[in-house]
């Protein structure tokens, strides 16, 4: 009898997003984020790293090719994400390769790999592929670089997000990465509605081994970061989410001692949707958001771990 292999998931922690992809990105996958400038690709990617470091004790590396490290740190503080503190704590590393991208891809990849290894990181963001390839003129050079980058990312043994800027008016998703090599593709769109108001939506075009959402979802960039807007779910969406919850065997938050309806709703809004998620939460993050002591937060996490291990 052949049993289906269970794919390990890496949660983004972005509220409402993980339930659209069966709990998170597939382990050791390369995810391509494609979109116009200003669509929120950097915000989404940074939120993935920040949530990993503060909620799931997952270390990550953010590589800046398109902007300086100083600009990145300043922009992220707008959302209350103190990456400088996380870097000092050894939970993330921010590499500023914006001035060295001309020194050669292999040299920069070596720098990234050394940082990943020393930090023992399992999340990586490269911002952006477009900046790396800026100096390449011939299609053959771009294809060679793509394959070099792909082999590197697979060797890195992590979930990697590769940002690709889509020129205004272009319908192409990018330099051959999407068609052949990416495990997942998320397309971010900006458009004007009938009232000439700027709107944003994303579509998940591909996600390896995942029964992902097939419909577009509206989102916004707020003071809290990347926020999926409320909308009426289709029957297909509801059915897929119910099937996912049953199949994954998730334990309801309300079964955890110390979690009532109010706390359960708050945790769900933070992207913690089950006892399994709660068991991996960071006590400091939990204490801050639930307005309780670190000791009380640790006790709730301990209760969650005991519940799912019984």
Are 259 and 297 spatial neighbours (Cβ–Cβ below 8 Å)?
no
Q: Which of 12, 84, 21 is nearest to 44 (CA)?
A: 12
Give yes or no: residues 202 and 257 share one domain. Answer: no
Tokens of 64: 């800046």
pLDDT at position 132 is 76
CATH code (residue 119): 3.40.50.300
pLDDT in tens, 139-150: 666 777 777 877
- The mean per-residue pLDDT over the stretch 257-274 comes to 81
Complete DSSP assignment for 292-305: --HHHHHHHHHHHH
Q: Does residue 26 sit in the same domain as residue 109?
A: yes
Count how many Cα atoms sit within 13 Å of the Cα of residue 222 in the half-sphere of its side chain. Answer: 8
Q: What percent of the chain has pLDDT over 90?
A: 47
Residue 288 lies in a domain: yes
pLDDT digits (tens, 9 = 90+) for 190-225: 888 888 888 899 999 999 999 999 999 999 999 999
Query: Over the stretch 43-101, which tens digit does the pLDDT of each residue have?
Result: 999 999 999 999 989 999 999 988 899 999 999 999 999 999 999 999 999 999 876 55
For residues 303 and 204, membership in a common domain is answered with no
Domain with 292, as residue range(s), is 251-309
The residues that bridge with 189 in the sheet, in sequence order, are 201
Tokens 């990416």, located at residue: 182
As a whole number, mean pLDDT of residues 151-155 equals 82
Averaged pLDDT for residues 35-47: 93
Question: In this structure, what are the phi and psi dihedrals at residue 300, rounded to the nearest 5 degrees?
Answer: -65, -40
Which is higher by pLDDT, 100 or 272?
A: 272
Do 252 and 274 meet the contact criterion of CB atoms below 8 Å apart?
yes
Do 111 and 233 fall into the same domain? yes
Confidence of residue 291 (pLDDT cuts 50, 70, 90): confident
**Given 217, 239, 261, which residue is the final one in a domain?**
239
In this prediction, residues 15-25 reach a mean pLDDT of: 93
Q: Report the alpha-carbon distance of residue 149 to residue 18 in Å, rounded.
A: 26
- 219 and 277 share a domain? no
Q: How far is CA 49 from CA 2, 13, 142, 193, 309, in A?
A: 36, 9, 27, 32, 27
Note whether residue 76 is domain-resident.
Answer: yes
Domain boundary, last residue among 219, 239, 259: 239
- Rounded Cα distance between 107 and 101, Å, is 9
CA pair distance 50, 125, nearest whole angstrom: 11
CB 297 within 8 A of CB 290: yes
Classified as helix, coil or strand, 79 is helix
How do residues 107-135 score in pLDDT, each as one tens digit? 888 899 999 999 999 999 999 887 777 76
**Cβ–Cβ contacts within 10 Å for residue 215, how many?**
13
Query: Structural domain tally of the chain?
Result: 2
Q: Which of 190, 211, 239 is the last residue of a domain?
A: 239
One domain, residues 200 and 294: no
pTM of the predicted structure, to 2 decimals: 0.76
Work out the average pLDDT over 31-39. 90
Instruction: Give a yes or no: residue 245 inside a domain.
Output: no
Neighbours of 111 (CB within 10 A): 15
Give the count of beta carbons closer than 10 Å to the beta carbon of residue 244: 18
- CB atoms under 10 Å from CB of 190, counted, come to 15
**Residue 3 pLDDT exceeds 50:** no
Does one domain contain both 201 and 288? no
d(Cα 79, Cα 114) in Å, to the nearest integer? Answer: 29
């Amino acid at each position: 009898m052949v049993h289906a292999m269970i794919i390990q998931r890496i949660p983004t922690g972005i509220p409402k997003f993980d339930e659209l992809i069966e709990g998170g990105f597939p382990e050791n996958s390369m995810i391509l984020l494609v979109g116009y400038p200003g669509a929120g690709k950097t915000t989404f990617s940074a939120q993935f790293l920040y949530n990993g470091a503060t909620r799931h004790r997952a270390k990550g590396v953010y590589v800046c090719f398109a902007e300086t490290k100083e600009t990145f740190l300043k922009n992220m503080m707008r959302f209350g994400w103190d990456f400088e503190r996380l870097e000092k704590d050894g939970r993330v590393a921010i590499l500023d390769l914006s001035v060295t991208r001309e020194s050669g891809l292999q040299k920069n990849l070596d720098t990234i790999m050394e940082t990943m290894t020393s930090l023992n990181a399992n999340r990586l963001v490269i911002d952006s592929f477009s900046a790396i390839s800026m100096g390449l003129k011939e299609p053959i050079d771009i294809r060679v670089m793509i394959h070099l980058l792909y082999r590197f990312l697979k060797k890195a043994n992590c979930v990697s997000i590769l940002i690709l800027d889509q020129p205004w008016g272009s319908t192409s998703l990018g330099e051959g990465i999407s068609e052949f090599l990416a495990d997942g593709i998320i397309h971010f769109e900006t458009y004007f509605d009938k009232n000439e108001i700027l709107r944003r939506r994303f579509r998940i075009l591909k996600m390896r081994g995942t029964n992902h959402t097939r419909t577009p979802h509206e989102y916004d960039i707020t003071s809290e970061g990347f926020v999926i807007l409320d909308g009426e779910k289709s029957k297909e969406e509801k059915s897929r989410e119910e099937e996912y919850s049953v199949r994954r065997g998730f334990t309801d938050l309300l079964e955890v001692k110390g979690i009532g309806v109010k706390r359960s709703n708050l945790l769900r809004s933070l992207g913690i949707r089950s006892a399994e998620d709660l068991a991996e939460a960071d006590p400091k993050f939990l204490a801050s958001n639930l307005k309780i002591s670190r000791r009380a937060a640790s006790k709730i996490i301990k209760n969650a771990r005991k519940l799912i291990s019984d």
